[in-house]
Amino acid sequence: MNDMKHLPNSPEARDIAYHFHGYTNAAAHAETGPMIIERGEGIYVYDSGGNRYIEALSGLWSAAVGFNEPRLAKAAADQMAKLPFYHNFGHKSHGPAIDLAEKLISLAPVEMSKVFYTNSGSEANDTVLKMLWYRSNSLGQPERKKVIARQRGYHGVTIASGSLTGLPNNHRSFDLPIEGVLHTTCPHFWKDGAPGETEEEFASRCAADLEALIEAEGPETIAAFFAEPVMGAGGVVVPPKTYWEKIQKVLNKYDILLIADEVICGFGRTGQMFGSHTFGMKPDVMVMSKQITSSYVPFTAFMMNERFYAPIAEESGRIGVLGHGYTGGSHPLGAAVALENIAIIEERELVRNARLVGARFRKQLESLQDHPLVGEIRGVGFIAALELVNDKRAKSVTGPVGQLGGLMNAALQRNGAISRNLGDAIAFCPPLITTEEQADDLFAIVKASLDDVTRAVK
Ligand code: PLP
């Protein structure tokens, strides 16, 4: 990747020596070395060699307002100067935590009651699962502890949230999933729809699979269903028409709560404030992260309705305390940055921008549909994927999964855009501030990179 790694004491050599990376092939890292990103500017980041890249994934689906928003730097500095840390244990509170909780509840698509603060998306989902157990005990339903997520869903990497995640590499050798976390069908129509089946019929089949799983396990044992409105890390899977309506019907029938993991979809990504708006979901809990602060600081939250909250509050009353909370939960810095970040999203109409520029970009991507290596173009709002195949009729790749995707990812990077291949699907999730011209530039890079890959595999 970078020959600087051979120079002793170079940042590259020291990275190899001392830094253990997430989501990286640790065995290969000594060979490849790191790509060091030095600074950000709008939708661009610059590496240590001075090369500029469009950050086509907003970092990790994160930097909604781009990579150098001065208002967020100021909000953070002001809060640092005024109250750099406080917590919410033992009835303590502070302005930013209160203001943000009120703000988040005002943005929800359904009536919500309370906000709980956490430090990562994984931790938020982990906490929701723990609270579900507490809630079931409070309700006198100790058998209601199982939860259902989906194959290829992504909810994080802690022991509980990694169990909710439905991707093999998050389970393999980690001894996950834990007991009581079940997975149902991934709603990817293009890949898993049967020959002759319509999108609506496939959605009915997904709902029937969910119902069959609930029946087989015993409806009284299932506490909740966890799902992203649009699956992100599992490959940007947009649900088929009528999916959410049919899934929610099953959940309502069995009194099972819906946990919407809005970690990627939240704050405008799907063209409305939340994915739950876009798909008519009525969740009991909404998990929020990433674009809540544009990930300038690690800060996450979930909001819940009374149905979720009331039994938990009662149980803590019986016990005398809620035996749960994080030192950094409700961190004033994160809350202050989140408030400013949401203000920017609203003032600059970035949700509308995501809808308009996203539609334009997806339309351009769709012009690649007839390319022999393109299997599916999918997306909604300003999130999309380009799935590569080399057997177009079979909708699959012959050869190792991820090879084509890896080639495309490398070509994009050479041509000036950073994305990520999820297997052979290339994900696009640019900052919400992206202009039409910048989206056109990104598309030109995508097209040129596809040509490069076509030549390479000939
Ligand atoms: N949920 C979803 C939908 C995510 O995409 C992610 C991260 O990508 C998480 C949860 C986990 O968040 P974190 O990496 O902050 O633990």
For position 135, what pLDDT does the model report?
98
Residue 321's φ and ψ, nearest 5 degrees, are -165, 155
For position 4, what pLDDT does the model report?
81
Closest Cα partner for 276 from 196, 92, 287?
287
Ligand 1 mutation target, pool 269, 289, 429, most atoms within 8 A of CB? 289
Atom of ligand 1 nearest to the CA of 231: 3
Task: Check whether 1 has a pLDDT greater than 60.
Answer: no
Task: List, as one string, the DSSP characters of 331-390.
Answer: -HHHHHHHHHHHHHHHHTTHHHHHHHHHHHHHHHHHTTTTSTTEEEEEEETTEEEEEE-S
Q: Percentage helix, strand, coil, to 5, in the chain?
A: 45, 15, 40
Q: Which residue has the tokens 């990504």?
A: 269
What mean pLDDT comes out for the span 250-265? 98
Query: Is 155 in contact with 164 (CB distance < 8 Å)?
Result: yes
Angle at 350 between CA 161 and CA 384, to 5 degrees: 55
CA of 156 to the centre of ligand 1 (A): 5
For position 2, what pLDDT does the model report?
60
Q: In 10 A of CB 107, how many CB atoms?
A: 18
Distance CA 315, CA 23 (A): 38
Kindly give the residue spans of alpha helices, DSSP state H, lying in 180-302. 189-192, 199-217, 243-253, 275-278
Atom of ligand 1 nearest to the CA of 265: 3
Q: Which two tokens stand for residue 23?
A: 């989501």
CA of 406 to the centre of ligand 1 (A): 22
Q: How far is CA 91 from the centre of its chain?
A: 31
What mean pLDDT comes out for the span 278-295? 98
Closest CA to ligand 1's atom 10: 155
DSSP 22: T
For position 8, what pLDDT does the model report?
85
The type of residue at 31 is E
User: What is the SS3 assignment for 432?
Assistant: coil
How many residues appear in the chain?
A: 458
**pLDDT tens track for 25-76:** 999 999 999 999 999 999 999 999 999 999 999 999 999 999 999 999 999 9
What's the Cα-to-Cα distance from 194 to each of 60, 153, 210, rounded to whole Å?
33, 21, 17
Closest Cα partner for 405 from 381, 379, 374?
374
Ligand 1 mutation target, pool 61, 119, 155, 429, most atoms within 8 A of CB? 155
For position 385, what pLDDT does the model report?
98
| Local confidence band at 372 (pLDDT 50, 70, 90 cut-offs) | very high
What mean pLDDT comes out for the span 202-220? 98
Closest CA to ligand 1's atom 12: 121
Residues with beta carbon inside 6 Å of ligand 1? 60, 120-122, 125, 154-156, 228, 232-233, 261, 263-264, 289
Pairing between strand 300-304 and 181-184?
unpaired
What mean pLDDT comes out for the span 5-30? 94
Widest distance between CA atoms in the chain: 69
Cis? peptide before 177, omega within 30° of 0: yes
Query: Is 64 in contact with 341 (CB distance < 8 Å)?
Result: yes
The type of residue at 164 is L
Distance CA 166, CA 171 (A): 8
Mean pLDDT of the chain: 97
CA of 155 to the centre of ligand 1 (A): 5
More confident residue, 394 or 210: 210
For position 412, what pLDDT does the model report?
98
CA of 299 to the centre of ligand 1 (A): 12
Atom of ligand 1 nearest to the CA of 125: 10
0.95 cut: is pTM over it? Answer: yes
| Local confidence band at 17 (pLDDT 50, 70, 90 cut-offs) | very high
CA of 201 to the centre of ligand 1 (A): 30
**pLDDT tens track for 402-447:** 999 999 999 999 999 999 999 999 999 999 999 999 999 999 999 9
**pLDDT tens track for 95-133:** 999 999 999 999 999 999 999 999 999 999 999 999 999
Closest Cα partner for 146 from 207, 205, 57, 224?
224
Query: Is 225 in contact with 251 (CB distance < 8 Å)?
Result: yes
Task: Check whether 268 has a pLDDT greater than 90.
Answer: yes
Indicate the Cα dihedral angle 325, 331, 336, 341, nearest 10°: -70
For position 399, what pLDDT does the model report?
86
Distance CA 379, CA 238 (A): 6
Ligand 1 mutation target, pool 237, 290, 299, 420, most atoms within 8 A of CB? 290
